[in-house]
C-alpha cells in the first residue's frame, strides 16, 4: 500500500514537472489585443492591408542579409514594417534570427529562447530553430535562456504576423539583449558572426526610434541615426547612441546586427521607409519614429561601366564624376514648387496635408530642403538629408516644417502666404570628405558632425556670401554650435553633397 502511495506521488510530481517543462518551452502571445488584434481574421485584414499599401519599394540589387524593423502597436508601426517584410515575399527564407531589446526584464547578457520552443500565435505555431539556438547557447556563458526576458516582451512577437504572411515554412531564433552595453553589443555581434548565414537565413533587428518629441525635433535625432545605416557605420551609431544624439530603444541589437551583416559581406544599405506615429494619429506634437531598413550585399556581377576609368587617364579632384542625383525637367520643378505652395496653403488654412498626382520620377525617393523667404530675408528652412520617402512627399513635408517648425522664427501665418518666396534644393547622396581639397565652393554643400553637434549649409549659401572654402567650413561649424576651427579636429566628420536648386 505504501509503495502504491509513493508511486502515485511520484507520478503526480513527474506529471507536474513535465507540464512545467512544456509550459516553459511553449510561449503564448503576450500582447495580443494590445499591440495587434488577437482575432485571426482581423489580424489578417490588417497585415494584408499594410503589405498591399507598400509603394515605390526601392530595388535591392543583391543578397539581402539583414532588416531593421519597428515594433510598436501594428496600427502605428505596421505600415513602415511592411516595407521590410515585402522584400521577403517569394524569397525562400526559412530561418529568421530575431534580435531585440528587453523592455520588461532587466538582466545582463543575451537570452536565446529554448531550442525546443514553440511560439503560439493567432496565425498558428512557429517553431524555434534547434540547431542555431543550441549553437548560440554554447557560444558564451553570458548567453542563456531566461524565460522572464521573453514572457512579456513584445518587440519580437509583433514581427511574427508579417513573417507568417510573407514566408512559407520557417523557424525562428529569438534573441533578447539585456543591458545595451558595449560588451553586450560586441557579444551579440560575435555570436551572430558564428552562425552560417546561408541564402535562406535573414537577420532582423527590432527597434523604434526617438520617443515623444515633436516630429520636427525628433527627425533631427532619427536622421543622424539613419545616416549611420546608409554609411554602414555601426561604430558611429554606437557613439551617437552613447552621447544621446540618436535615440533607438533597440539601438544595441541594431548595431550588433549591422556589424554581423558587414562581417557576412554586406556592403550596402537602403532606407526603405521612414515615418512616425503622427502619420497615423495626426498629432505631430509628440511622436515615435519608425524606420524600415535593408542591409545587403550588392550584386558584384552588375555592370559597373560608370566606375571604369580610361587607361592612362589621371583623374583630379575637380573632374571626379559626381554621384547620381535627380534629373528634373523644368515641368517637374514647377510641379514641386506647386506641391510646396499648395501644401502650405492647405496646412495653414485647416491643418490638412493634400496628396498630389505627380510623375513617376517625382515618386522616387529623394532628399530635399525647402527654403522660405519673405521680402528677401530668410523665413524658414528645413529639409531631409536622406531619402526616406518619395521626393514630392519630402517637399510637401519640409514645406510645412520650414513654415512652422524652424526654431529660429515664429510660425508662418496665413496672412504671410502671398509674400513668401519658395526655393527647393534637391540633394544628392552624402559623400564623406577625406580631404578638404575635395570641397568645391558653389558646387558643394556641407554637413559637419562632432559629438552631438551637427550643422548643414546648402551650396547656395556660400555662393550668396562669396565665401572661400575655409570660411564655408568655419561657418558650417558655427551652424553646428562648434568653434570655427572644429573642422580641423580628427573627431569631426565632414560630408559634402550637391543640389539641384530652383525657386518661384
The C-alpha atoms of residue 371 and residue 450 are separated, in whole angstroms, by: 25
Between CA 410 and CA 445, with CA 396 as vertex, the angle to 5 degrees is 80
H helices present in 361-468, as ranges: 391-404, 459-464
pTM: predicted TM-score of the whole model, two decimal places: 0.61
In a domain, 321, yes or no: no
Q: Are residues 496 and 347 in the same domain?
A: yes
Q: What is the 3-state secondary structure (H, E, C) of 168-197?
A: CCCEEEEEEECCCCHHHHHHHHHHHHCCCC
Q: Are residues 288 and 364 in the same domain?
A: no
Q: Could you list the pLDDT tens digit for every one of the 504 residues in the chain?
A: 554 444 444 444 444 433 334 455 889 999 999 999 999 999 999 999 999 999 888 888 899 999 999 999 999 999 999 999 999 998 999 999 999 999 989 999 999 999 999 999 999 999 999 999 999 999 999 999 999 999 999 999 999 999 999 999 999 999 999 999 999 999 999 999 999 888 899 999 999 999 988 887 888 888 889 989 988 889 889 989 998 889 999 999 999 999 999 999 998 999 999 999 888 888 888 889 999 999 999 876 554 443 333 333 333 333 333 345 568 899 999 999 999 999 999 888 887 788 888 988 888 878 889 999 998 899 998 887 766 678 898 899 889 888 887 878 889 988 999 999 999 999 887 788 889 998 999 899 998 888 767 788 988 888 888 999 999 999 999 988 899 999 999 888 898 888 888 999
Residue with cell 502671398: 418
CATH number at residue 477: 3.30.700.20
Q: Are residues 285 and 380 in the same domain?
A: no
Q: Are residues 196 and 339 in the same domain?
A: no
In a domain, 272, yes or no: yes
Q: Are residues 435 and 350 in the same domain?
A: yes
CATH number at residue 120: 3.40.830.10
What is the model's pLDDT at position 243? 87
**Is residue 252 exposed (0-12), middle (13-18) or buried (19+ Cβ within 10 Å)?**
buried
In a domain, 441, yes or no: yes
The x, y and z cell numbers of residue 456, run together, are 548643414
Question: Do 96 and 172 form a contact (C-beta atoms < 8 A)?
Answer: yes
First to last CA, the chain: 100
Cα-trace Rg, the chain: 25
Angle at which helix 215-230 crosses helix 234-243, to 10 degrees, equals: 150
In a domain, 304, yes or no: no
The C-alpha atoms of residue 394 and residue 443 are separated, in whole angstroms, by: 22
- Tell me the backbone φ, ψ of residue 275, rounded to 5 degrees: -165, -175
Please give the tally of structural domains in the chain. Answer: 2
Q: Are residues 147 and 190 in the same domain?
A: yes
Q: Are residues 260 and 346 in the same domain?
A: no
In a domain, 8, yes or no: no
The C-alpha atoms of residue 203 and residue 185 are separated, in whole angstroms, by: 15
Q: Are residues 156 and 280 in the same domain?
A: yes
The x, y and z cell numbers of residue 217, run together, are 525635433
Q: Are residues 362 and 223 in the same domain?
A: no
The sign one gets for the Cα dihedral 73, 184, 241, 368 is negative
According to DSSP, the residues that pair with 369 across neighbouring strands are 383, 425
Paired sense of beta strands 201-206 and 62-69, if any: parallel
In a domain, 405, yes or no: yes
According to DSSP, the residues that pair with 502 across neighbouring strands are 424
Q: What does the DSSP 8-state code read for residue 152? A: T
Centroid of chain to Cα 331: 32
Three-state DSSP at 167 gives coil
What is the model's pLDDT at position 317? 32
Q: Are residues 273 and 352 in the same domain?
A: no
The C-alpha atoms of residue 40 and residue 38 are separated, in whole angstroms, by: 6
Q: Which domain does 409 fall in, by range?
A: 330-503
The C-alpha atoms of residue 175 and residue 440 are separated, in whole angstroms, by: 47
Measuring CA to CA, which residue among 437, 459, 79 is closest to residue 277? 79
The C-alpha atoms of residue 41 and residue 26 are separated, in whole angstroms, by: 23
Domain boundary among 253, 276, 298: 298
Q: Are residues 185 and 250 in the same domain?
A: yes
Question: Do 372 and 379 form a contact (C-beta atoms < 8 A)?
Answer: yes
The sign one gets for the Cα dihedral 328, 329, 330, 332 is negative
Element containing residue 427 per DSSP (H, E):
strand 420-427
Q: For the range 374-379, what are the long-range contacts, defined as Cβ-Cβ under 8 Å and sequence gap of 24 or more? A: 374/416, 374/419, 374/420, 374/421, 375/419, 378/409, 379/403, 379/409, 379/412, 379/416, 379/420
What is the model's pLDDT at position 452? 62
Q: Are residues 104 and 226 in the same domain?
A: yes
Question: Do 445 and 458 form a contact (C-beta atoms < 8 A)?
Answer: yes
Domain boundary among 250, 279, 298: 298
In a domain, 2, yes or no: no
In a domain, 93, yes or no: yes
The x, y and z cell numbers of residue 352, run together, are 490638412
Amino acid at each position: 500500500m505504501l509503495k502504491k502511495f509513493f508511486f502515485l506521488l511520484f507520478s503526480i510530481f513527474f506529471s507536474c514537472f513535465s507540464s512545467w517543462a512544456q509550459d516553459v518551452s511553449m510561449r503564448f502571445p503576450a500582447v495580443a489585443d494590445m499591440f495587434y488584434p488577437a482575432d485571426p481574421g482581423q489580424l489578417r485584414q490588417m497585415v494584408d492591408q499594410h503589405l498591399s499599401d507598400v509603394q515605390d519599394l526601392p530595388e535591392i540589387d543583391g543578397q539581402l542579409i539583414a532588416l531593421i524593423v519597428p515594433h510598436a502597436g501594428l496600427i502605428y508601426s505596421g505600415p513602415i514594417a511592411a516595407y521590410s517584410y515585402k522584400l521577403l515575399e517569394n524569397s525562400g527564407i526559412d530561418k529568421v534570427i530575431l534580435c531585440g531589446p528587453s523592455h520588461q526584464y532587466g538582466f545582463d547578457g543575451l537570452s536565446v529562447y529554448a531550442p525546443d520552443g514553440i511560439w503560439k500565435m493567432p496565425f498558428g505555431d512557429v517553431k524555434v530553430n534547434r540547431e542555431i539556438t543550441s549553437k548560440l547557447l554554447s557560444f558564451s556563458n553570458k548567453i542563456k535562456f531566461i524565460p522572464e526576458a521573453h514572457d512579456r516582451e513584445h518587440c519580437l512577437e509583433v514581427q511574427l504576423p508579417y513573417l507568417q504572411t510573407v514566408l512559407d515554412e520557417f523557424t525562428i531564433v529569438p534573441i533578447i539583449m539585456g543591458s545595451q552595453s558595449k560588451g553586450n553589443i560586441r557579444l551579440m555581434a560575435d555570436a551572430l558572426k558564428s552562425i552560417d548565414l546561408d541564402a535562406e537565413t535573414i537577420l532582423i533587428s527590432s527597434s523604434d526610434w526617438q520617443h515623444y518629441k515633436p516630429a520636427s525635433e525628433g527627425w533631427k535625432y532619427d536622421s543622424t541615426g539613419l545616416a549611420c545605416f546608409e554609411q554602414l557605420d555601426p561604430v558611429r551609431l554606437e557613439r551617437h547612441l552613447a552621447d544621446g544624439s540618436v535615440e533607438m530603444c533597440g539601438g544595441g541589437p541594431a548595431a550588433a546586427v549591422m556589424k554581423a551583416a558587414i562581417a557576412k559581406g554586406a556592403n550596402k544599405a537602403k532606407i526603405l521607409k521612414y515615418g512616425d506615429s503622427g502619420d497615423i494619429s495626426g498629432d505631430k506634437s509628440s511622436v515615435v519614429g519608425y524606420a524600415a531598413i535593408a542591409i545587403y550585399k550588392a550584386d558584384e556581377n552588375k555592370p559597373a561601366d560608370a566606375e571604369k576609368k580610361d587607361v592612362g587617364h589621371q583623374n583630379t579632384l575637380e573632374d571626379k564624376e559626381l554621384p547620381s542625383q535627380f534629373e528634373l525637367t523644368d515641368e517637374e520643378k514647377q510641379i514641386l514648387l506647386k506641391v510646396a505652395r499648395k501644401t502650405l496653403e492647405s496646412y495653414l488654412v485647416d491643418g490638412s496635408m493634400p496628396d498630389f498626382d505627380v510623375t513617376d520620377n517625382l515618386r522616387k525617393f529623394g532628399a530635399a530642403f525647402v527654403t522660405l523667404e519673405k521680402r528677401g530675408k530668410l523665413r524658414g528652412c528645413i529639409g531631409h538629408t536622406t531619402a526616406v520617402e518619395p521626393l514630392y512627399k519630402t517637399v510637401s513635408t519640409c514645406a510645412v516644417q520650414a513654415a512652422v517648425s524652424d526654431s529660429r522664427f515664429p510660425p508662418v501665418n496665413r496672412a504671410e502666404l502671398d509674400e513668401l518666396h519658395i526655393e527647393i534644393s534637391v540633394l544628392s547622396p552624402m559623400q564623406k570628405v577625406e580631404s578638404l581639397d575635395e570641397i568645391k565652393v558653389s558646387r558643394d554643400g556641407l554637413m559637419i558632425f562632432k559629438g552631438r553637434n551637427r550643422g548643414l549649409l546648402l551650396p547656395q549659401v556660400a555662393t550668396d556670401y562669396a565665401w572661400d572654402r575655409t570660411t564655408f567650413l568655419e561657418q558650417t561649424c558655427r551652424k553646428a554650435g562648434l568653434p570655427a576651427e572644429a573642422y580641423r579636429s580628427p573627431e569631426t566628420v565632414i560630408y559634402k553633397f550637391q543640389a539641384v536648386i530652383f525657386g518661384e
